[in-house]
Structure 1
Amino acid sequence: MNQRIPVFTDDPGWHGKRLKEAFAARGYEAVFVSLKECAFNLAANGLPPVLIPGFERELPKGVFVRGVPGGTLQRVIARLDILHALKLLGVVVYNDGYAVERTVDKAMTSFLLHLNHVPTPQTWVCESRYQAQEIYLRETMAGRPVVLKPLFGSQGQGIRKLTHETPFPIPMEQYVDGLYYLQSYIDSGEGAWHDHRVFVIKGRAVAAMIRHGSHWVNNVAQGGRCEAIEAQGELAQLAEAAARAVNVDYCGVDVIREGDGKLYVLEVNSIPAWKGLQGATGIDIGQLLVDDFLSCMHTQPALTVVS
């Protein structure tokens, strides 16, 4: 029987199908499991201390993380605790809980990029409306628009550009919720908006594309048009530096080029979609991911847990 590998996701969809095919091509069976259904079992009953549905008697050698469900702070922490615990038990967790934490939180991503000297837009994060409004006024009155983003979020949802003519959002407005994450607006070309998505696996850029938009937000989910480009040169080097800065197994790196030619990293996504990228480049990214995951699983020695 094929060895079974849990793929943590609540919505397998297109990506789950690609992963299932890629695992099958290497003689493995992908089993879709929700982190909501996993649990700690710290009783002295001979079962593993982390229970995964379908793996109650013995933990798998590795788990592939395709999604961490949202929810209350307590629930999200508990789900990340499952990933942390599995890693401590010697299970290969791809990407692990720390990688997810560092990248789902845009403030920490920005901090790590800044700390590692990876070019990224000027960024401010604060709870104080007074501080945020002071930044907004200083920047926009000098003719420098800022972008307000939700701290957690993806696919361009909730992002807005603020100028001196834009009403400043109130704290409890949708996507603001009492916290302000502000970045300098990088103009990629008025009317010719575009940015880049680079896919990095184990520190190497493997695929890249330009996303052209009819709006300054270029995400594929927002209608961006994809065009394949070579994953090489300065663009690839910058994406690889971003992946190192946040220390992930694999990621999608969003990069934008300003009108003067300078590149900036906007975001690093540790649970990236790749449907648009694969469609544009023809590269079987799911297979590349599975092959790298399996190489990690075969080379990492199991940790002996002393009871």
Structure 2
Amino acid sequence: MTPVVPLRAGLRVAIMADETGWHTRQLLRALRERGCVGRCIDLAQCRIATPHAWHGLVLPGFGESLPDAVLVRGIAGGTFEQVTKRLGVLHALREFGVPVYNDARAIERSVDKSMTSLLLHAAGVPTPPTWATESAAAAQQLVTRESAAGRSLVLKPLFGSQGQGLQRVGWVDGAHVPLPPLDEGFGGLAYLQRFVEAPTHDYRVLVVGGTALAAMRRVSAHWVHNVARGARCEPQSLQEGIGPELARLAEAAARALDMDYAGVDLLPTRDGATVIEVNGVAAWQGLQRVTPFNIAQALVRDLLDRKCAGRLQRRQA
């Protein structure tokens, strides 16, 4: 790994997080090691007040100025209006020239699973056949058709995370499982992905600055392999066996969504691997346990040395 080199004049970095804990402590420590000042801010506490300053934003702890960079660690859920405002703050920061890592556009692409699937498909990245429809009748016809062919589908909340709310429908364990009511936890939308028969594990690959840096196998007896659902983390090489293919596909997925960093989930198949999801605000505590280098340092290094290169040059001139 490249040695950490302190800056002569540190930047002020806002860490956007709806809660503080292990991840934010890791990032704050990595920023301090580079001579930067990090400050955790909840986007819910940020305001728009046009008389306040030329930019019209109020960010706690920054007075009338803006941060030199923003690292997005978490965005709290809320009403459509609240989330729109929070993303709007990130959009505005980018428009005002502040490097945002990942920016609002990338987060929107990854949070909306249907857009993720669409962009992966358009970029030629292997991903399971996917459908998204507001018509319950059309969704039920699809489930019936897939079931008749002996296939099952995974019904997912469009904005879900950590494996919550996933259901299998269609032909499941020798019986037909119909589509449940879509107004119960799915917002009136059917986002359906063809179920991929896989062994007892999937893969998480961390892509930073366009390069796959680390990976792990998530091993579980359940077909949902999220660590939050009890999966066990095991190291996975990116240089041996399936590793190079995982790296190639994960990098292609992050590129398709134009992401600074991404946690890419893949399933093994008979033909190699397929991308299931791309996470734009990826957690890495489980991955860190099986990774020999410090992930927070890698994220901060990419933010400062690539994303903020111009600002660093001006500061150190």
Band of TM-score, shorter chain: over 0.9
Corresponding position of 1:41: 49
Residue 239 of structure 1 pairs with residue 257 of structure 2: no
Distance change >3 Å, CA 262–CA 297, structure 1 → 2: closer
Letter in 2 for 1:41: A
Shift of 1:225: 0.8
SS where residue 280 of structure 1 aligns?
Answer: coil
Which amino acid in the other structure matches residue 279 of structure 2? N
Q: What's the TM-score once normalised by structure 2's chain length?
A: 0.90
In structure 2, distance between residues paired with 1:298 and 1:92: 7
Q: How many residues get paired?
A: 296
Cα displacement (A) at 1:300: 3.5
Q: Tell me the distance in 1 between the aligned counterparts of 2:80 and 2:14.
A: 24
Deviations 1:174-211 (A, max 9, x none): x222110001000113xxx2100000001100000111
- For 1:56, the equivalent position in structure 2 comes to 63
Aligned to 1:92: 99
Gaps of 5+ in 2: 1-8, 313-317
Q: Distance in 1 between matches of 2:11 and 2:290?
A: 32
Which of residues 153, 173, 177 in structure 2 aligns to 1:166? 177
1:21 & 1:287 partners in 2: Cα distance?
9
Identity in percent: 46
1:211·1:218 contact (CA, 8 Å) conserved in 2? yes
Contact 1:92 1:300 in 2 (8 A): no
Deviation at 1:3, TM superposition (A): 4.4
Query: Gapped runs of 5+ residues in structure 1?
Result: 303-307
Secondary structure class of the residue paired with 2:290: helix
Counterpart of 2:158, as a letter, is L
230, 255, 268: which one aligns with 2:266? 255
Could you give the per-residue CA deviations for residues 121-159 of structure 1, whole angstroms, max 9, x where no partner exists?
Answer: 000000101100011000011101110000001110001
Q: 1:23 aligns with which of 17, 31, 37?
A: 31
**For 1:8, which of 1, 10, 16 is the aligned residue?**
16
Among 205, 212, 215, the residue aligned to 1:208: 215
Q: Please list every run of at least 4 consecutive aligned residues from structure 1 whose deviation after the TM superposition is greater than 6 angstroms.
A: none
Cα distance in structure 1, aligned partners of 2:308 and 2:288:
27
Question: 1:106 aligned to 104, 113, 127, which one?
Answer: 113
Partner of residue 79 from structure 2, selected from 43, 58, 72: 72
Partner AA of 2:49 in structure 1? N
Alignment equivalent of 1:153, drawn from 160, 173, 193: 160
Aligned-residue offset at 1:276: 0.6
Q: Aligned-pair distance for 1:46?
A: 4.3
Cα drift, residue 231 of structure 1: 2.3
Equivalent pair of 2:144/2:178 in contact (CA under 8 Å) = no
Superposition deviation, residue 295 in structure 1: 1.5
Aligned AA (2:12): R
Residue 271 of structure 1 is matched in structure 2 by 281
Superimposed CA distance per residue, residues 84-142 of structure 1 (whole angstroms, 9 cap, x where no aligned partner): 10011110111000011000000000000000000000000001011000110000111
Query: Contact between 2:126 and 2:274, CA under 8 Å: does it hold in 1?
Result: yes
Which residue does 1:128 correspond to in 2?
135
Shift of 1:10: 1.5
Work out the CA distance in 2 between the residues paired with 1:73 and 1:230: 41
Contact conserved, 2:151 with 2:194, CA < 8 A, in 1?
Answer: yes
1:46-99 superposed Cα distances (whole Å, 9 cap, x missing partner)? 454221111122111111111111111111111111001001111011100001
Look up the SS of the partner of 2:65 in the other structure: coil
Instruction: Choose the corresponding residue for 2:295, options 285, 288, 307.
Output: 285
Deviation string for 1:21-48 (max 9, x for gaps)?
Answer: 11111112221101011112222x5454
